Each structure stands twice: as C-alpha cells, then as structure tokens.
Chain A
Amino acid sequence: AQSVSQHNHHVILSEAASLELGCNYSYGGTVNLFWYVQYPGQHLQLLLKYFSGDPLVKGIKGFEAEFIKSKFSFNLRKPSVQWSDTAEYFCAVNAITGGGNKLTFGTGTQLKVEL
C-alpha cells in the first residue's frame, strides 16, 4: 500500500518569501501526483497535478512542483508567497493499479503567511 509523508506540519513565512513544501511517497509503480489546497472554511481545490512527461509542473496561483522519481518526491514551490496563500496544503498520490482512482493523502502542511 502506498503512503505519503509531508515533513512540514506548520510553516510560517513572511510575504514575498519563497516556499518549498516537501512530499515523499512510497510506491514502486506508476503514480499520479497531486497537490491540493484547502483555504479556511473552503473545500479542497486542485493546485497542480503530474501524470507523465515534464517532471516540472506548473499550477494555479504561481505554484509549481517537481517530480523526482529517484527520490520518490513531489515538492511544492512558490518563489514569492502572498498573505492569501495562507491555507492547508495536501500532497496526494494515486497509484495506478488497474484503473481505480484512490488518493492517498499526506497529513497536510498548514501554511501561514504574515504581512
């Protein structure tokens, strides 16, 4: 069974600082990778996804993530965060095992951006 680890549970940054949130997964086969964001009081929103091809994927709101297969990692980055990026961020993995779509989520990283 796959698992997902998010190493940073709480991150506090000042506006304009750079962000990198770590995500590692354990599964030896083909995976789809996702980052979701959950703003306070709102539902999960897809930030970006990796299925295949270029391992550097760009998402909404200036976020990007890099898939490094050898490290089983899919870290999320943003060069300059804004106060409005305050939210909880979830990394998720979908192991491709015959068509089923089951996401395994990490425990989440709570990001607080201070003015």
Chain B
Amino acid sequence: ETGVTQSPTHLIKTRGQQVTLRCSSQSGHNTVSWYQQALGQGPQFIFQYYREEENGRGNFPPRFSGLQFPNYSSELNVNALELDDSALYLCASSLRGAGGNTIYFGEGSWLTVV
C-alpha cells in the first residue's frame, strides 16, 4: 500500500475525445509525476508537478497537460485522444528535498482508446 490513489481504474474512450485522470498523493508528498506505460514496455515520464507548477516534462505533445492542486492532488488531461494513447497511466508521488527521494506509484488507470 503506497498511499497513492488513482481514479478511475479503467476507462474506454473514443478517438478524438478528451480524458481526465485523477491522483491523490501520499500524505506529506509535495511532488507528483505522471507516467505512461504501454503494453510490454517500461513506464515513460510524462511530466512532474511541484508546488502546483510543471517542473519537468518528457517527450509528450502539448495535448498532454496536468494540474496539481494545493492539497497536492493532481490531474492528467489528454485531449484529442489517439489510438496509441491506450496505456496504463501511473501517478507517482514523492517528497522533494536534498539527497535521495523514494517515488511511490499508484495502481494506475487503464485507458483504452477505440
């Protein structure tokens, strides 16, 4: 049990639609990241939020956007869905600070785009 909760767990969307995925970070964690894990691959970093601002972004187009709220919960929004967006979306939380940081993952949201 990591204390990171995500919703919904599964959803199906049609190509061109928009989707919002939600994440509640572990208590006390001020940094949230989102990852995309396609079938048979390792997770790929989408972006990270710290103190409600984007703080690093991977190789994903602008139609992937996010928000972090004052209570450190977060949303991932994907516009104009494409078939290749079908994947497991993972939220991860951590406490940003000096030295090492352990990153904890939620169970993920399975998105299928048809």
Question: Which residues of A are at the interface with B, using a C-beta cutoff of 8 A?
Answer: 4, 32, 34, 36, 42-46, 49, 51-52, 90, 92, 94, 96, 99-108
Contact = CB atoms under 8 A, between A and B. Distances in A.
Contacts of A103: 33, 35, 43, 45, 92, 103
27 contacts: A4-B42, A36-B105, A43-B2, A43-B90, A43-B105, A43-B106, A43-B108, A44-B90, A45-B2, A45-B105, A52-B100, A90-B42, A90-B43, A92-B42, A99-B97, A100-B48, A100-B50, A100-B96, A101-B103, A102-B56, A102-B58, A105-B43, A105-B44, A107-B41, A107-B42, A108-B40, A108-B41
B31 interface: yes
Contact of B105 (A4, A44, A49, A107): A44
B94 interface: yes
Given A45-B2, A99-B97, A102-B58, 11 more contacts: A43-B106, A49-B100, A52-B100, A101-B31, A101-B103, A102-B45, A103-B35, A103-B43, A103-B45, A105-B42, A105-B43
B81 to A, nearest CB: 23
Nearest to B108: A43
Interface of B: 2, 31, 33, 35, 40-45, 48, 50, 55-56, 58, 90, 92, 94, 96-108
Contacts of A44: 43, 90, 105
A27 to B, nearest CB: 14
B42 A108 contact: yes
Contacts of A94: 100-101, 103
B48 A101 contact: yes
